[in-house]
């Protein structure tokens, strides 16, 4: 059955037919307590069928803080302006996101990742992206660097990279 479908120009359900990835190697920072787009961490894909799904994966390098203070970095994944894979609302003072990174030291970096199988029901170009923020406005949320970001001779802090990958999967 599957071989016949392939020979007829189709692919069996579950086949990956398109992959788009972007890698961010420079840094990004924000001090906002609301989500903002991370420059360079978005990808566009145009599904070939409205019945197909999009697998959205990110792997980030995240730091935060202000000097040696504790910081809480918030991360969310989106298709356009639609939030994906977000925690439920609970209480009136809790941030909702895909990932949270609680940094105890401003020199720390973490590698949060997330994955969701999205059903956009579209054949129009779609943009998948990551947004970032901090729960404390005087602190810094960072991509690809620590909050401390020291360039001292001890070499404690480094630079990293982050990726977004989207795959179209036959429905």
d(CA 55, CA 110): 23
pLDDT of residue 1: 44
Strands lying side by side in the sheet with 162-169: 16-24, 162-169, 53-59, 113-118
Exposure on the CB side of residue 171, measured as CA atoms within 13 A: 14
User: pLDDT tier at 94 (50, 70, 90 boundaries)?
Assistant: confident
Query: What is the DSSP secondary structure assignment for residue 87, as one 8-state letter?
Result: P
Which residues have CB under 8 Å from 7's CB, separation 6+? none
Question: Higher-confidence residue: 154 or 18?
Answer: 18
- Residue 66: the pLDDT is 63
Which tens digits make up the pLDDT trace of 105-121?
777 889 999 999 999 99
Tell me: pLDDT of 24 over 50: yes
pTM: 0.88
pLDDT score recorded for residue 70: 60
Is 125 exposed, middle or buried (CB count within 10 Å of its CB: 0-12, 13-18, 19+)?
A: exposed
The answer to which of 21-35, 78-92, 101-115 has the lowest mean pLDDT is: 101-115
Q: Is the pLDDT of residue 6 over 70?
A: no
Q: What is the pLDDT of residues 42-73, one digit of tens each?
A: 999 999 999 999 999 999 999 887 655 567 88
pLDDT single digits (tens) 97-156: 999 888 777 778 899 999 999 999 999 999 999 999 988 777 888 999 988 888 877 767
């Amino acid at each position: 059955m599957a071989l016949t479908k392939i020979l007829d120009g189709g692919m069996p359900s579950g086949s990956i037919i398109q992959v788009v990835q972007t890698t961010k190697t420079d840094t990004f920072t924000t001090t906002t307590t609301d989500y903002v787009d991370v420059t360079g961490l978005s990808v566009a894909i145009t599904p070939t069928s409205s019945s197909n799904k999009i697998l959205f994966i990110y792997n980030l390098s995240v730091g935060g803080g202000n000097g040696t203070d504790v910081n809480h970095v918030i991360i969310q994944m989106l298709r356009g302006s639609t939030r994906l894979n977000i925690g439920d609302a609970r209480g009136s003072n809790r941030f909702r996101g895909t990932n949270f990174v609680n940094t105890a030291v401003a020199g720390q970096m973490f590698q949060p990742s997330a994955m969701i199988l999205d059903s956009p029901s579209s054949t129009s170009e779609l943009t998948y992206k990551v947004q970032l923020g901090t729960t404390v406005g005087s602190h810094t949320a960072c991509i690809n660097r620590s909050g401390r970001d020291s360039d001292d001779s001890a070499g404690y802090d480094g630079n990293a990279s982050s990726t977004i990958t989207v795959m179209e999967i036959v429905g």
